[in-house]
Protein backbone atom coordinates (compact mmCIF):
# COMPACT_ATOMS: atom_id res chain seq x y z
CA UNK A 1 0.00 0.00 0.00
CA UNK A 2 1.29 3.53 -0.82
CA UNK A 3 1.36 5.63 2.35
CA UNK A 4 2.25 9.26 3.02
CA UNK A 5 3.27 10.35 6.51
CA UNK A 6 3.01 14.11 7.03
CA UNK A 7 5.45 15.13 9.73
CA UNK A 8 8.73 13.37 10.52
CA UNK A 9 8.83 14.04 14.22
CA UNK A 10 8.56 11.42 16.92
CA UNK A 11 5.15 9.99 15.98
CA UNK A 12 5.54 10.36 12.22
CA UNK A 13 8.98 8.79 12.02
CA UNK A 14 8.08 5.82 14.21
CA UNK A 15 4.79 5.30 12.35
CA UNK A 16 6.35 5.54 8.91
CA UNK A 17 9.26 3.29 9.75
CA UNK A 18 7.13 0.58 11.34
CA UNK A 19 4.56 0.60 8.51
CA UNK A 20 7.38 0.35 5.97
CA UNK A 21 8.75 -2.60 7.89
CA UNK A 22 5.61 -4.62 7.12
CA UNK A 23 6.03 -4.12 3.36
CA UNK A 24 4.23 -0.85 2.67
CA UNK A 25 5.67 1.83 0.39
CA UNK A 26 6.08 4.87 2.67
CA UNK A 27 6.95 8.49 1.92
CA UNK A 28 7.60 10.77 4.88
CA UNK A 29 6.89 14.44 4.15
CA UNK A 30 8.42 17.20 6.25
CA UNK A 31 8.78 20.85 5.29
CA UNK A 32 11.90 21.19 7.43
CA UNK A 33 14.49 20.71 4.69
CA UNK A 34 17.38 20.39 7.15
CA UNK A 35 15.59 17.52 8.89
CA UNK A 36 14.84 15.85 5.55
CA UNK A 37 18.50 16.15 4.53
CA UNK A 38 19.58 14.48 7.77
CA UNK A 39 17.08 11.67 7.27
CA UNK A 40 18.24 11.10 3.70
CA UNK A 41 21.78 10.75 5.02
CA UNK A 42 20.64 8.09 7.46
CA UNK A 43 20.72 10.32 10.55
CA UNK A 44 17.82 9.88 12.94
CA UNK A 45 16.96 13.30 14.45
CA UNK A 46 15.46 11.81 17.64
CA UNK A 47 16.78 9.35 20.19
CA UNK A 48 14.63 6.23 20.32
CA UNK A 49 16.17 2.77 20.91
CA UNK A 50 16.01 0.64 17.76
CA UNK A 51 14.61 3.34 15.49
CA UNK A 52 17.80 4.21 13.59
CA UNK A 53 18.50 0.58 12.71
CA UNK A 54 14.93 -0.09 11.57
CA UNK A 55 14.82 3.15 9.60
CA UNK A 56 18.06 2.56 7.70
CA UNK A 57 17.09 -1.03 6.92
CA UNK A 58 13.82 0.03 5.31
CA UNK A 59 15.45 2.90 3.42
CA UNK A 60 17.97 0.42 2.01
CA UNK A 61 15.11 -1.89 1.01
CA UNK A 62 13.46 0.96 -0.92
CA UNK A 63 10.30 0.98 1.20
CA UNK A 64 10.97 4.23 3.07
CA UNK A 65 11.89 7.64 1.67
CA UNK A 66 11.91 11.26 2.82
CA UNK A 67 11.00 14.45 1.01
CA UNK A 68 10.10 18.10 1.50
CA UNK A 69 8.24 18.17 -1.85
CA UNK A 70 4.48 17.99 -1.31
CA UNK A 71 3.65 16.92 -4.87
CA UNK A 72 6.12 14.06 -4.63
CA UNK A 73 4.77 13.01 -1.25
CA UNK A 74 1.07 13.03 -2.15
CA UNK A 75 1.40 11.43 -5.57
CA UNK A 76 -0.33 7.99 -5.64
CA UNK A 77 -0.94 8.08 -1.88
CA UNK A 78 -3.66 5.64 -0.81
CA UNK A 79 -3.44 6.60 2.86
CA UNK A 80 -2.26 9.95 4.27
CA UNK A 81 -1.34 10.04 7.96
CA UNK A 82 -1.30 13.48 9.61
CA UNK A 83 1.42 13.32 12.28
CA UNK A 84 2.29 16.97 12.91
CA UNK A 85 2.69 18.57 16.31
CA UNK A 86 -0.10 20.07 18.41
CA UNK A 87 1.82 22.05 21.04
CA UNK A 88 0.25 23.63 24.10
CA UNK A 89 -0.82 27.25 23.85
CA UNK A 90 -0.33 29.57 26.86
CA UNK A 91 -3.96 28.95 27.91
CA UNK A 92 -3.44 25.18 27.98
CA UNK A 93 -5.32 24.45 24.76
CA UNK A 94 -3.81 22.52 21.84
CA UNK A 95 -2.51 24.49 18.88
CA UNK A 96 -3.97 22.63 15.89
CA UNK A 97 -2.85 25.16 13.26
CA UNK A 98 -0.38 22.70 11.73
CA UNK A 99 -3.12 20.07 11.38
CA UNK A 100 -5.39 22.63 9.74
CA UNK A 101 -2.66 23.61 7.27
CA UNK A 102 -2.07 19.98 6.33
CA UNK A 103 -5.80 19.61 5.67
CA UNK A 104 -5.61 22.54 3.24
CA UNK A 105 -2.53 21.03 1.58
CA UNK A 106 -4.30 17.69 1.15
CA UNK A 107 -7.31 19.43 -0.38
CA UNK A 108 -5.04 21.12 -2.92
CA UNK A 109 -3.33 17.82 -3.73
CA UNK A 110 -6.71 16.14 -4.21
CA UNK A 111 -7.81 18.94 -6.49
CA UNK A 112 -4.65 18.42 -8.55
CA UNK A 113 -5.39 14.70 -8.80
CA UNK A 114 -2.15 13.62 -7.06
CA UNK A 115 -3.30 10.93 -4.57
CA UNK A 116 -4.77 7.59 -5.54
CA UNK A 117 -8.51 7.29 -6.12
CA UNK A 118 -10.52 7.80 -2.91
CA UNK A 119 -7.64 8.04 -0.42
CA UNK A 120 -8.01 7.71 3.34
CA UNK A 121 -6.86 10.69 5.42
CA UNK A 122 -5.93 9.59 8.95
CA UNK A 123 -5.39 12.05 11.81
CA UNK A 124 -2.76 10.51 14.07
CA UNK A 125 -1.78 13.73 15.82
CA UNK A 126 -3.29 14.10 19.27
CA UNK A 127 -6.14 16.55 18.71
CA UNK A 128 -9.11 17.88 20.71
CA UNK A 129 -12.45 16.24 20.07
CA UNK A 130 -13.98 17.62 16.89
CA UNK A 131 -10.69 18.33 15.11
CA UNK A 132 -10.87 15.33 12.78
CA UNK A 133 -14.32 16.38 11.65
CA UNK A 134 -12.93 19.87 11.05
CA UNK A 135 -10.20 18.31 8.89
CA UNK A 136 -12.88 16.51 6.87
CA UNK A 137 -14.92 19.68 6.49
CA UNK A 138 -11.87 21.68 5.41
CA UNK A 139 -10.94 19.17 2.72
CA UNK A 140 -14.48 18.72 1.40
CA UNK A 141 -15.13 22.46 1.29
CA UNK A 142 -12.16 22.88 -1.04
CA UNK A 143 -12.59 19.93 -3.43
CA UNK A 144 -15.21 17.55 -4.73
CA UNK A 145 -12.67 14.71 -5.00
CA UNK A 146 -13.90 11.93 -2.71
CA UNK A 147 -11.85 10.82 0.29
CA UNK A 148 -12.49 9.19 3.65
CA UNK A 149 -11.32 10.53 7.00
CA UNK A 150 -10.41 8.67 10.20
CA UNK A 151 -8.77 9.23 13.57
CA UNK A 152 -6.10 6.80 14.77
CA UNK A 153 -4.50 8.00 18.02
CA UNK A 154 -1.00 6.85 18.93
CA UNK A 155 -0.03 5.22 22.23
CA UNK A 156 3.75 5.27 21.97
CA UNK A 157 5.93 5.41 25.08
CA UNK A 158 9.17 7.28 24.54
CA UNK A 159 11.98 4.78 24.98
CA UNK A 160 9.84 1.82 23.89
CA UNK A 161 7.99 3.16 20.86
CA UNK A 162 9.03 0.49 18.36
CA UNK A 163 7.79 -2.29 20.61
CA UNK A 164 4.58 -0.35 21.35
CA UNK A 165 3.81 0.06 17.66
CA UNK A 166 4.67 -3.49 16.68
CA UNK A 167 3.01 -5.14 19.69
CA UNK A 168 0.20 -2.78 20.69
CA UNK A 169 -2.12 -3.35 23.64
CA UNK A 170 -4.84 -2.17 21.29
CA UNK A 171 -5.29 -0.19 18.09
CA UNK A 172 -8.00 2.48 18.21
CA UNK A 173 -9.63 3.60 14.96
CA UNK A 174 -12.32 6.25 14.67
CA UNK A 175 -14.00 5.84 11.29
CA UNK A 176 -16.81 7.35 9.27
CA UNK A 177 -17.30 4.58 6.67
CA UNK A 178 -16.47 1.00 5.70
CA UNK A 179 -13.64 2.13 3.43
CA UNK A 180 -11.79 3.52 6.41
CA UNK A 181 -12.45 0.35 8.40
CA UNK A 182 -11.16 -1.92 5.64
CA UNK A 183 -7.99 0.08 4.99
CA UNK A 184 -7.02 0.38 8.65
CA UNK A 185 -7.86 -3.27 9.31
CA UNK A 186 -5.50 -4.30 6.53
CA UNK A 187 -2.74 -1.97 7.70
CA UNK A 188 -2.82 -3.11 11.32
CA UNK A 189 -3.50 -6.83 10.89
CA UNK A 190 0.25 -7.66 10.99
CA UNK A 191 0.48 -6.11 14.47
CA UNK A 192 -2.52 -7.74 16.15
CA UNK A 193 -2.02 -11.40 15.26
CA UNK A 194 -1.53 -12.24 18.95
CA UNK A 195 -5.14 -11.35 19.65
CA UNK A 196 -4.91 -7.80 20.93
CA UNK A 197 -7.92 -5.86 19.62
CA UNK A 198 -8.31 -3.41 16.79
CA UNK A 199 -11.17 -1.28 18.12
CA UNK A 200 -13.40 0.54 15.64
CA UNK A 201 -15.62 3.33 16.89
CA UNK A 202 -16.96 6.77 16.04
CA UNK A 203 -14.39 9.51 15.51
CA UNK A 204 -15.15 11.68 18.59
CA UNK A 205 -14.81 8.63 20.86
CA UNK A 206 -11.46 7.72 19.29
CA UNK A 207 -10.19 11.27 19.82
CA UNK A 208 -11.28 11.11 23.47
CA UNK A 209 -9.67 7.69 24.10
CA UNK A 210 -6.21 9.19 23.78
CA UNK A 211 -6.89 11.97 26.27
CA UNK A 212 -8.75 9.73 28.70
CA UNK A 213 -5.93 7.17 28.68
CA UNK A 214 -3.14 9.66 29.36
CA UNK A 215 -5.22 11.54 31.92
CA UNK A 216 -5.82 8.27 33.82
CA UNK A 217 -2.10 7.42 33.88
CA UNK A 218 -1.22 10.96 34.96
CA UNK A 219 -3.81 10.65 37.71
CA UNK A 220 -2.19 7.51 39.09
CA UNK A 221 1.22 9.19 39.17
CA UNK A 222 -0.08 12.25 40.99
CA UNK A 223 -2.07 10.08 43.38
CA UNK A 224 0.92 8.03 44.52
CA UNK A 225 3.02 11.19 44.86
CA UNK A 226 0.37 12.80 47.03
CA UNK A 227 0.34 9.66 49.20
CA UNK A 228 4.15 9.80 49.35
CA UNK A 229 4.02 13.31 50.75
CA UNK A 230 1.61 12.16 53.45
CA UNK A 231 3.89 9.22 54.23
CA UNK A 232 6.80 11.63 54.56
CA UNK A 233 4.86 13.69 57.12
CA UNK A 234 3.75 10.69 59.19
CA UNK A 235 7.03 8.71 58.92
CA UNK A 236 5.30 5.96 56.96
CA UNK A 237 7.05 4.18 54.06
CA UNK A 238 5.42 4.65 50.65
CA UNK A 239 7.17 1.49 49.41
CA UNK A 240 5.24 -0.57 51.94
CA UNK A 241 2.04 1.36 51.29
CA UNK A 242 2.37 0.75 47.55
CA UNK A 243 3.01 -2.94 48.19
CA UNK A 244 -0.14 -3.19 50.28
CA UNK A 245 -2.20 -1.33 47.68
CA UNK A 246 -0.97 -2.95 44.50
CA UNK A 247 -1.68 -6.53 45.56
CA UNK A 248 -5.35 -5.59 45.22
CA UNK A 249 -6.19 -6.75 41.69
CA UNK A 250 -8.56 -3.83 41.27
CA UNK A 251 -5.63 -1.43 41.70
CA UNK A 252 -2.57 -3.19 40.27
CA UNK A 253 1.03 -1.97 40.14
CA UNK A 254 1.42 0.11 36.99
CA UNK A 255 2.13 3.85 37.21
CA UNK A 256 2.16 3.82 41.01
CA UNK A 257 5.83 4.65 41.52
CA UNK A 258 6.51 7.74 43.64
CA UNK A 259 9.02 10.23 42.34
CA UNK A 260 9.31 13.73 40.95
CA UNK A 261 6.19 13.53 38.79
CA UNK A 262 5.54 13.12 35.09
CA UNK A 263 7.08 15.20 32.30
CA UNK A 264 7.73 14.90 28.59
CA UNK A 265 5.54 15.85 25.66
CA UNK A 266 2.39 13.79 26.34
CA UNK A 267 1.07 13.72 29.90
CA UNK A 268 1.50 17.46 30.65
CA UNK A 269 0.14 18.53 27.27
CA UNK A 270 -2.78 16.11 27.24
CA UNK A 271 -3.80 16.84 30.83
CA UNK A 272 -3.87 20.56 30.09
CA UNK A 273 -5.83 19.90 26.90
CA UNK A 274 -8.47 17.96 28.84
CA UNK A 275 -8.72 20.81 31.34
CA UNK A 276 -9.14 23.34 28.53
CA UNK A 277 -11.71 21.19 26.71
CA UNK A 278 -13.70 21.05 29.94
CA UNK A 279 -13.54 24.83 30.36
CA UNK A 280 -14.71 25.45 26.82
CA UNK A 281 -17.54 22.95 27.23
CA UNK A 282 -18.67 24.47 30.51
CA UNK A 283 -17.80 21.19 32.26
CA UNK A 284 -14.78 21.97 34.48
CA UNK A 285 -12.42 19.01 34.79
CA UNK A 286 -11.75 19.36 38.50
CA UNK A 287 -9.94 16.06 38.93
CA UNK A 288 -7.54 16.74 36.06
CA UNK A 289 -6.90 20.25 37.35
CA UNK A 290 -5.86 18.71 40.67
CA UNK A 291 -3.72 16.07 38.95
CA UNK A 292 -1.82 18.79 37.10
CA UNK A 293 -1.36 20.91 40.22
CA UNK A 294 -0.12 17.97 42.31
CA UNK A 295 2.39 17.15 39.58
CA UNK A 296 3.74 20.69 39.42
CA UNK A 297 3.91 20.89 43.22
CA UNK A 298 5.80 17.60 43.55
CA UNK A 299 9.07 18.85 42.16
CA UNK A 300 8.81 22.07 44.21
CA UNK A 301 8.19 19.97 47.34
CA UNK A 302 11.36 17.99 46.66
CA UNK A 303 13.34 21.16 45.96
CA UNK A 304 12.14 22.54 49.29
CA UNK A 305 13.39 19.37 51.02
CA UNK A 306 16.83 19.93 49.52
CA UNK A 307 16.87 23.51 50.78
CA UNK A 308 15.58 22.44 54.19
CA UNK A 309 18.64 20.21 54.51
CA UNK A 310 21.33 22.34 52.84
CA UNK A 311 19.96 25.81 53.52
CA UNK A 312 17.97 28.42 51.62
CA UNK A 313 21.18 30.10 50.47
CA UNK A 314 23.22 27.56 48.52
CA UNK A 315 26.00 29.94 47.55
CA UNK A 316 29.33 28.13 47.57
CA UNK A 317 27.77 24.68 47.40
CA UNK A 318 28.29 22.30 44.47
CA UNK A 319 25.43 19.94 43.62
CA UNK A 320 25.50 17.12 41.09
CA UNK A 321 22.43 16.14 39.08
CA UNK A 322 22.06 12.54 37.91
CA UNK A 323 19.58 12.41 35.04
CA UNK A 324 18.33 15.27 32.88
CA UNK A 325 15.74 13.60 30.62
CA UNK A 326 12.18 13.36 31.91
CA UNK A 327 12.45 9.55 31.86
CA UNK A 328 15.05 6.93 30.95
CA UNK A 329 15.66 5.72 27.37
CA UNK A 330 14.96 9.14 25.86
CA UNK A 331 16.78 12.44 25.33
CA UNK A 332 13.56 14.42 25.81
CA UNK A 333 13.87 17.15 28.44
CA UNK A 334 10.50 18.79 27.79
CA UNK A 335 8.77 19.39 31.15
CA UNK A 336 11.52 17.31 32.81
CA UNK A 337 11.56 17.57 36.62
CA UNK A 338 15.32 18.09 36.44
CA UNK A 339 14.75 21.49 34.86
CA UNK A 340 12.69 22.70 37.82
CA UNK A 341 15.24 21.32 40.29
CA UNK A 342 18.20 22.84 38.43
CA UNK A 343 16.50 26.21 38.06
CA UNK A 344 15.73 26.32 41.78
CA UNK A 345 19.27 25.34 42.76
CA UNK A 346 20.81 27.95 40.48
CA UNK A 347 18.51 30.68 41.83
CA UNK A 348 19.59 29.70 45.36
CA UNK A 349 23.23 30.25 44.37
CA UNK A 350 24.46 26.68 43.91
CA UNK A 351 26.97 25.51 41.32
CA UNK A 352 25.31 22.68 39.42
CA UNK A 353 26.94 19.86 37.46
CA UNK A 354 24.70 17.55 35.45
CA UNK A 355 25.03 14.20 33.74
CA UNK A 356 22.69 12.15 31.56
CA UNK A 357 23.53 9.24 29.23
CA UNK A 358 21.79 10.78 26.19
CA UNK A 359 20.19 14.16 26.98
CA UNK A 360 23.33 16.27 27.39
CA UNK A 361 23.08 18.05 24.01
CA UNK A 362 19.46 19.00 24.59
CA UNK A 363 20.28 20.41 28.02
CA UNK A 364 23.28 22.30 26.61
CA UNK A 365 21.00 23.88 24.00
CA UNK A 366 18.96 25.52 26.80
CA UNK A 367 21.93 27.71 27.67
CA UNK A 368 21.60 27.24 31.43
CA UNK A 369 24.56 28.14 33.64
CA UNK A 370 25.35 24.54 34.53
CA UNK A 371 28.38 22.37 34.02
CA UNK A 372 28.01 19.06 32.17
CA UNK A 373 30.13 16.07 33.19
CA UNK A 374 31.36 13.11 31.16
CA UNK A 375 30.01 10.53 33.58
CA UNK A 376 28.01 10.22 36.77
CA UNK A 377 31.02 10.12 39.09
CA UNK A 378 32.46 13.29 37.55
CA UNK A 379 29.08 14.96 38.12
CA UNK A 380 29.39 14.02 41.79
CA UNK A 381 33.05 14.98 42.22
CA UNK A 382 33.65 17.48 45.06
CA UNK A 383 29.90 17.91 45.45
CA UNK A 384 28.08 18.78 48.65
CA UNK A 385 25.16 16.64 47.46
CA UNK A 386 23.76 14.84 44.45
CA UNK A 387 20.15 14.79 43.26
CA UNK A 388 18.79 11.84 41.26
CA UNK A 389 16.17 13.07 38.79
CA UNK A 390 15.94 10.22 36.25
CA UNK A 391 15.92 6.47 36.92
CA UNK A 392 18.48 5.42 34.32
CA UNK A 393 19.53 1.78 34.73
CA UNK A 394 23.17 2.67 35.24
CA UNK A 395 22.20 4.70 38.31
CA UNK A 396 20.56 1.72 40.00
CA UNK A 397 23.71 -0.18 41.00
CA UNK A 398 26.66 2.24 41.04
CA UNK A 399 29.89 1.80 42.96
CA UNK A 400 28.62 3.47 46.11
CA UNK A 401 31.96 3.45 47.98
CA UNK A 402 33.50 5.15 44.94
CA UNK A 403 30.65 7.65 44.89
CA UNK A 404 31.19 8.45 48.56
CA UNK A 405 34.92 8.88 48.02
CA UNK A 406 34.57 11.47 45.25
CA UNK A 407 31.93 13.57 47.04
CA UNK A 408 32.87 16.39 49.37
CA UNK A 409 29.84 15.58 51.52
CA UNK A 410 28.05 12.22 51.03
CA UNK A 411 24.50 13.58 50.83
CA UNK A 412 21.99 12.11 48.39
CA UNK A 413 18.52 13.33 47.44
CA UNK A 414 17.01 10.41 45.55
CA UNK A 415 14.00 11.64 43.59
CA UNK A 416 13.36 8.19 42.13
CA UNK A 417 13.77 5.90 45.18
CA UNK A 418 16.50 3.84 43.52
CA UNK A 419 18.39 2.76 46.63
CA UNK A 420 17.61 1.30 50.04
CA UNK A 421 17.78 3.87 52.84
CA UNK A 422 19.27 1.42 55.34
CA UNK A 423 22.10 0.49 52.98
CA UNK A 424 22.90 4.12 52.27
CA UNK A 425 23.05 4.98 55.96
CA UNK A 426 25.33 2.02 56.62
CA UNK A 427 27.68 3.26 53.90
CA UNK A 428 27.87 6.68 55.54
CA UNK A 429 25.44 8.66 53.37
CA UNK A 430 22.85 11.15 54.47
CA UNK A 431 20.00 9.92 52.33
CA UNK A 432 16.57 11.34 51.53
CA UNK A 433 14.07 9.92 49.06
CA UNK A 434 10.36 10.26 48.24
CA UNK A 435 7.87 9.16 50.89
CA UNK A 436 10.33 7.02 52.84
CA UNK A 437 11.94 7.81 56.21
CA UNK A 438 15.18 9.77 55.87
CA UNK A 439 18.40 8.19 57.12
CA UNK A 440 21.47 9.84 58.62
CA UNK A 441 24.80 8.03 58.34
CA UNK A 442 25.50 5.24 60.74
CA UNK A 443 28.90 3.78 61.56
CA UNK A 444 30.60 3.17 58.22
CA UNK A 445 31.68 -0.37 57.51
CA UNK A 446 35.38 -1.06 57.17
pTM to 2 decimals? 0.93
Non-local CB neighbours of 118 within 8 Å, separated by 6+ positions: 146, 147, 148, 179
In DSSP terms, which residues pair with 25 in a beta bridge? 2
Active site (annotated) includes residue 28: no
* Nearest CA-CA partner of 362 in 337, 384, 334: 334
Three-state SS letters, 369-384: CCEECCCHHHHHCCCC
* Nearest CA-CA partner of 334 in 85, 24, 146, 135: 85
Over its length of 446 residues, how does the chain's per-residue pLDDT go in tens digits? 999 999 999 999 999 999 999 999 999 999 999 999 999 999 999 999 999 999 999 999 999 999 999 999 999 999 999 999 999 999 999 999 999 999 999 999 999 999 999 999 999 999 999 999 999 999 999 999 999 999 999 999 999 999 999 999 999 999 999 999 999 999 999 999 888 899 999 999 999 999 999 999 999 999 999 999 999 999 999 999 999 999 999 999 999 999 999 999 899 999 999 999 999 999 999 999 999 999 999 999 999 999 999 999 999 999 999 999 999 999 999 999 999 999 999 999 999 999 999 999 999 999 999 999 999 999 999 999 999 999 999 999 999 999 999 999 999 999 999 999 999 999 999 999 999 998 788 644 43
Contact 185, 1 (CB under 8 A): no
| Residues found in the chain | 446
Superfamily for the 204-446 domain: NAD(P)-binding Rossmann-like Domain (3.40.50.720)
CA distance 226 to 435: 9
Q: Could you check whether 2-201 and 204-446 share the same CATH topology? A: yes
CA distance 181 to 55: 27
For the chain, the structural domain boundaries read 2-201, 204-446
Contact 181, 187 (CB under 8 A): no
Three-state SS letters, 54-71: HHHHHHHCCCEEEECCHH
CA distance 43 to 56: 9
* Nearest CA-CA partner of 147 in 113, 176, 124, 119: 119
CATH number of 2-201: 3.40.50.720
pLDDT tens-digit readout, 83-104: 999 999 999 999 999 999 999 9
Contact 4, 14 (CB under 8 A): no
Q: Residue 88 — φ and ψ, nearest 5°?
A: -80, 130
CA distance 386 to 379: 8
* Nearest CA-CA partner of 355 in 338, 334, 337: 338
pLDDT tens-digit readout, 311-350: 999 999 999 999 999 999 999 999 999 999 999 999 999 9
Catalytic one of 18, 28, 173, 266: 266
Amino acid sequence: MHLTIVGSGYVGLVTGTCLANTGNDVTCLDLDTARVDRLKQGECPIYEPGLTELMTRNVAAGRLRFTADQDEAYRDAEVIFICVGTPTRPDGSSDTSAVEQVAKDIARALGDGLPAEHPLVVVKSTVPVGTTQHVADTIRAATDTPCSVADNPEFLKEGDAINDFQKPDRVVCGIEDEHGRNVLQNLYTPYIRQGNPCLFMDIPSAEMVKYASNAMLACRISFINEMARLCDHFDADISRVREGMSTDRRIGREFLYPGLGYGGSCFPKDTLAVIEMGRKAGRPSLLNEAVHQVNQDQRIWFLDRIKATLGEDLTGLRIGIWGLAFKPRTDDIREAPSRTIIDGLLKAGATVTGYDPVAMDNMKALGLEIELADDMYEAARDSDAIVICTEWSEFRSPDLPKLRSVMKSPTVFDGRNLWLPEDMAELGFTYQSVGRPSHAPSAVRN
